[in-house]
Amino acid sequence: MKRKLLSVLICAALIIHVSAIAGAATKVSDGVVKIGVLTDMSGTYSDLAGPGSLIAVQMAVADFIAKEKPDFKIEVISADHQNKGDIAAIKAREWIDTEKVDVIVDLVTTSTALAVMKVAKEKDRITLVSGAASTPITNEQCTDTNVHWTYDTYALAVGTGKAVVKQGGKTWFFLTADYAFGKSLEKDTSDVVLEEGGKVLGHVLHPFPAQDFSSFLLQAQSSGAQVIGLANAGNDTINAIKQAAEFGITPKQSLAGLLMFISDVHSLGLKATQGMYLTTGFYWDRDAETRAWSKRFFEKKNRQPTMVQAGDYSAVYHYLKAIKAAGTDDTKGVIAKMKATPINDFFAKNGKIRVDGRMVHDMYLAQVKKPAESKYPWDYYHIRQVIPADQAFLPLSKSKCPLVKK
Amino acid sequence: MTGMFGVSIQGLFGQLLVGLLNGSFYAILSLGLAIIFGLLNIINFAHGAQYMMGAFLAWIGMRYLGVTYWWALLLSPLLVGAFGMLLERSMLKWLYKLDHLYGLLLTFGLALIIEGLFRYRFGISGESYPVTELLEGGKNLGFMFLPKYRVWVVAASLVVCFGTWFVIERTKLGSYLRAGTENPQLLQAFGINVPLMITLTYGYGVALAAFAGVLAAPIFNVNPVMGSNLIIAVFAVVVVGGMGSIMGSIVTGLGLGLIEGIVKSGMIANLLSSTFDSVPVARSLVYPIKLLLSPEASAVTIFVIMAIVLLVRPAGLFGRER
Amino acid sequence: MPSLRMNAAAWGLLVVFGLAAPFLVYPVFAMKILCLALFACAFNLLLGYTGLLSFGHAAFLGTAGYVTGHTVKALGFQPEVGILAGTAAAAALGYVFGSLAIRRAGIYFAMITLALAQMVYFMSLQMPFTGGEDGLQGVPRGKLFGVIDLMQPLYMYYFVFAIFLAGFWVVYRTIHSPFGQVLKAIRENEPRAISLGYDVEKYKLTAFVLSTALSGLAGATKTLVFQLASLTDVHWHTSGEVVLMTLLGGMGTVFGPVVGAIVVVSLQNYGANIGEWVIVITGTIFVICVLAFRRGIVGEIAVLFKK
């Protein structure tokens, strides 16, 4: 009897000891954490995301390995979704089914983000969206395997709208790209303008994409509004700004670029963009930390990073840390760990992932410098205001995401 | 100021003037296409890419070689025109005996190659080209601010367009060109070097595209896809004008600019609204028409016009059925 | 005209590879090829056999896609009903567009089809049910006839393969029928066909509607495969792509478009990492095909075998 008890105790002790050792090692599917960067490598958004996003992710992986010395392998692959939902969906499926990809990152262009989010949810993989902007990603179409990292149209609208009205720009006219993204950008901004006591004098819809904005700008001019809100992006924004200067609309009326990246300012030059307000999630020259990181990025790409690219780094690093802490790359466990851990790195201050997948963090209201004020290349912004994390994004109380318990 | 369907008289003038500015642009682009089709029977899908090359060469000249705008206006078309002649000599000439289809497909392929290479080299965001000093600024007309540069674009386009028309329709050289399209063998028998004439004609058409590109550089962002955004609309203009009709493409180009101006002002949409909105059934029937004629549909306007014109006058407004 | 033996051999290859495909390559990739191959065959019926170049065929591919997506997702119908709805919509649209465009010939015909397609693109952008540029997402595949679960890759694949074979069979039979002979006569020499007493307009319109219906079938199926209908499918780039597939594969051949589709889709898929070079390569293929390779891959093979 005693011997039996002893052997049982010894067995139990052995088992506990062995599982303790086994538990210490990170359980990673297929032995490798594989990260897929799915972005626009050659099209309209390739400058604000694209190859730069891939570089940022590679930096994150290299830094993580160097600093945290994980006991699992990490691999990065990439592909060009060409801004097409079906190509993105097929690539995502193929990656998950045949290449054992564990997480898909960047996903610029809302239609590709939504398509891949659905595939990922179906196959229980994580998506980290940094590039796309529309609020449905964490609102009506939210999933519990997705995190929306860098920015969205609400944050941009609120930031720029509120700030500009407070600065005295009370009357607005919108120049809106005629597609869902432009219209939602206009709606979010005009809601905020009205809330702050401003007035919306009118709007005009332009085809997407368009080349010549003179007709539309004339209408904006004749409305007499103090602020012309550009509810569009990319080349449309660039052409509109250029032509506004040409037709003498600026500086009498000010332009608010509702979605602008530093790559756009670089393309247009300060002469055309000076004085414009915009909201951004990241600026390379904000403080010593951002400068240090951006310098390393600049060495690889010869351009300063956009918020999308910096966001990719931050998201992937946080993801990898969560795997290490959770001891597994299983989706549920990692997401839970990611949502439980705050984010305070060079990219985000006071960052937190909410239940709807929205990573809320401080946003910044920037104003473009005058040419004389810029002392060195890429010295483009004054950071006028910090918009705190809890005010910058759509409040959960207004959310239509099914994951938010009311 | 009393308005016409939501647009003041001043506003309308402004829109018409802007429309004229755009129209002259369409005119010079479609002129090049019309010449190439009219005289060579080639549908030059690469026209947009050649326009883009013109703009880019001007930018490269300014950025790296210190070439001023005025020199670029001369040199860029010459260089791109020469490139065009090279294309014609090496590739296009093999296709004259074949169906139109092949010329179109070849030039479409060339457009893709040119655009792809430029995208690879320059990225997609594009570059900024400043307005040359002499033409900076503008005049305040009261109902709008008229930039000097735009006036220059209209003037330059109209001069080149009507100059070209004059040469083709009223001079001996032009008569040779026209004869060459009707009966090249007979013309060759008269001792005219027809192949050379054809090569030079293609080169000229391409040079026109590049010229338009240089004119465009200070206004639109210079990027590798600037041509492909425009090319389809310009094709439509040429078809409406009557393929191969020089006057047709000029007049249609200007006309389209004006009509687009009216559409963009929102006047037509407002007119339809105020007339039909009170009757629910009529309103839903008219809705798609109204949609097609509202400012955001201005990119589709030319296609609506084209569909209507082709059904009524199959060879275009000024064309002759071939 | 390739010999009966060659035709049989080609059919054999098609069926064997088709059956084996999901085990050789990624099933969704194979399904994409099948859908686009059907699209190219339908297009070739018009271009290679009737001599009509349409620049706006994407309008039919995409419209069917949207109609099927809406029918299955919002209205809750079964997949086979959805596909029928999409095909019917494309055929109806084809009838209307065809009636308008057939009156003119050559480049004018092409431009009218382009104009109409651009209007379809614009409408697709505007109509709320299409989801605009976000696309119609989350289209369920459902259960075929209420029993077969199409979420299983193999079931879906063989379903798509069956549709492809059916469509391809229709094209094949059409080409080799008296009707098809008249179409070829029209392509070769329209005035002569008219003088022989054929109602040329009616033949052209029938061919057009047939072509658009099959294009719609391809688009409807594609939407179920990807569970997504987007603006890409109604964009003029897609119209250009199908021209490329047909030209590359061999314009007047039966199997050419299938080969062309395989090459183009593979290029897009495997070229996803080379960015702009895909555009340059596509353009180069166009140029080479036009200058030196007008018969296309299958055409050249056929000539080779004749020697």
Confidence bin at C205 (pLDDT 50/70/90): very high
Contact B16, B261 (CB under 8 A): yes
For Cα atoms A313, A316, A318, give the angle at the middle one, nearest 5 degrees: 105
Closest to B319 in 3D by CA, of B223, B238, B218: B238
* C146: amino acid identity, one letter: G
Which region among A183-192, B167-176, C173-182, C190-199 has the lowest average model confidence (pLDDT)?
Answer: B167-176
Q: Is A47 on the interface with B (CB under 8 A)?
A: yes
* Rounded CA separation A364/A261 (Å): 13
Place of tokens 């006047």: B267
- Residue range C139-153: mean pLDDT, rounded: 87
In a domain, B290, yes or no: no
Mind listing the pLDDT tens digit for each residue in C242-251?
999 999 999 8
pLDDT score of A181 more than 60: yes
Residue C227: CB partners within 8 Å, gap ≥ 6?
A89, A118, C137, C138, C139, C140, C141
By residue count, chain C amounts to: 307
**Chain C residues 224-243 with CB within 8 Å of chain B:** 236, 240, 243
Q: Is B78 on the interface with A (CB under 8 A)?
A: no
Residue C111: CB partners within 8 Å, gap ≥ 6?
B235, B236, B239, B306, B310, C55
Question: What is the full DSSP assignment across C11-58?
Answer: HHHHHHHHHHHHHHS-HHHHHHHHHHHHHHHHHHHHHTTT----S-TH
* Rounded CA separation C22/B322 (Å): 51
- Residue range A207-223: mean pLDDT, rounded: 85
pLDDT of residue A149: 95
- Residue range C105-131: mean pLDDT, rounded: 85
Assign domain A30-151+286-361 to its CATH superfamily.
Answer: Response regulator (3.40.50.2300)
pLDDT of residue A20: 43
Question: What is the rounded end-to-end Cα distance, in angstroms, of chain C?
Answer: 13
Mind listing the pLDDT tens digit for each residue in A31-80?
899 999 999 887 778 888 989 999 999 999 999 999 999 889 999 999 98
Greater confidence, C269 or C13? C13
**Chain A residues 186-215 with CB within 8 Å of chain C:** 208
Q: How many CB pairs below 8 Å do chains A and C form together?
A: 79
pLDDT of residue B2: 45
- Binary contact (A91, C272; C-beta < 8 A): yes
Confidence bin at A211 (pLDDT 50/70/90): confident
For chain B, percent of residues with pLDDT exceeding 90 = 27
Prediction ipTM score: 0.84
Which region among A192-196, A315-319, C151-155 has the lowest average model confidence (pLDDT)?
Answer: C151-155
For Cα atoms C271, C275, C281, give the angle at the middle one, nearest 5 degrees: 65
Confidence bin at A17 (pLDDT 50/70/90): very low
In a domain, B300, yes or no: no
Domain membership of residue C241 as a residue range: 4-306
pLDDT of residue A354: 93
Question: What is the full DSSP assignment across B276-312?
Answer: HTTSHHHHHHHHHHHHHTSGGGTTTHHHHHHHHHHHH
pLDDT of residue C131: 78
Is the Cα dihedral B64, B65, B71, B75 positive or negative? negative
Pick the residue of C113, C238, C278, C287 with the most B CBs within 10 A to test the interface with B by mutation.
Answer: C287
pLDDT score of C93 more than 90: yes
- State which of A372-386, C124-138, C139-153 shows the largest mean pLDDT: A372-386
pLDDT of residue B4: 60
When divided into structural domains, chain B yields a total of 1
For chain C, percent of residues with pLDDT exceeding 70 = 97
Contact A306, A397 (CB under 8 A): no
Closest to B220 in 3D by CA, of A349, C294, C230, A241: A241
Q: Is A242 on the interface with B (CB under 8 A)?
A: yes
pLDDT of residue B322: 47
**DSSP 3-state percent helix, strand, coil across chain C (nearest 5):** 80, 5, 20
CA distance C105 to chain B (A): 9
pLDDT score of A248 more than 90: no
Nearest CA in chain B to A210: B299
Q: What is the DSSP letter of A319?
A: H
pTM of the model: 0.85
pLDDT of residue C2: 56
- CATH 3.40.640.10 describes domain A154-280+364-392: no
* Rounded CA separation C57/C38 (Å): 13
In a domain, B183, yes or no: yes
* Rounded CA separation B316/B38 (Å): 13
When divided into structural domains, chain C yields a total of 1
pLDDT score of B311 more than 80: no
Domain membership of residue B112 as a residue range: 11-228
Question: What is the rounded end-to-end Cα distance, in angstroms, of chain A?
Answer: 58
Give the domain CATH number at C210: 1.10.3470
pLDDT score of C1 more than 70: no
pLDDT of residue A15: 44
pLDDT of residue C5: 79
Residues of B whose CB is below 8 A from C108:
239, 310, 314-315
Q: Is B119 on the interface with A (CB under 8 A)?
A: yes
CA distance A124 to chain C (A): 15
Nearest CA in chain B to C236: B232
- Residue range B55-64: mean pLDDT, rounded: 91
- Binary contact (A114, C276; C-beta < 8 A): no
Alpha helices in C48-152 (DSSP H): 58-73, 79-101, 106-126
Mind listing the pLDDT tens digit for each residue in A94-103?
899 888 999 9
Regarding beta strands A352-353 and A359-360, do their DSSP bridges make them parallel or antiparallel, or are they unpaired? antiparallel
Q: Is C73 on the interface with A (CB under 8 A)?
A: no
Residue B84: CB partners within 8 Å, gap ≥ 6?
B50, B202, B203, B205, B206, B207
Count other Cβ atoms within 10 Å, centred on residue B137: 13
* Rounded CA separation B56/B76 (Å): 9
Neighbours of chain A (3+ CB pairs under 8 A): B, C
Is the Cα dihedral A229, A235, A238, A243 positive or negative? negative
Question: What tokens appear for B159 in the block?
Answer: 């001069």
**Domain boundary assignment for chain A:** 30-151+286-361, 154-280+364-392
